[in-house]
Amino acid sequence: MLPYIGLMVFTREVYLNILIESINYCRKHKGLEIYAYYFMPSHVHLVFRCSNQDPSGLIRDFKKHTSKKIVNAIEENP
């Protein structure tokens, strides 16, 4: 069986920029403190701390907002 590779979303600059903008927003407004990150073509690794003591809520909001923006961008820029 072949391993799951996933959709290579972050190989296009327009989609990667959405990810970066979302991270920057969370840093400025939601208490995200990033210690390390690694952008892969199909996913992201983050080592972070949430200064407002709600990391689950922060990640939930980040993923929801970012995924909607990326889906819209894919529809507009296939």
Residue 47 lies in a domain: yes
Tokens of 78: 């296939």
Query: How remote is the C-alpha of 48 from its chain's centroid?
Result: 13
Residue 1 lies in a domain: no
Query: How do residues 37-68 score in pLDDT, each as one tens digit?
Result: 999 998 899 999 999 888 999 999 999 999 99
Tell me if 38 sits within 8 A of 16, measured CB to CB.
no
Residue 3 lies in a domain: no
pTM (2 d.p.): 0.83
- The boundaries of the domain holding residue 32 are 9-76
Q: Work out how many domains the chain is built from and give that number.
A: 1
Residue 30 lies in a domain: yes
Residue 2 lies in a domain: no
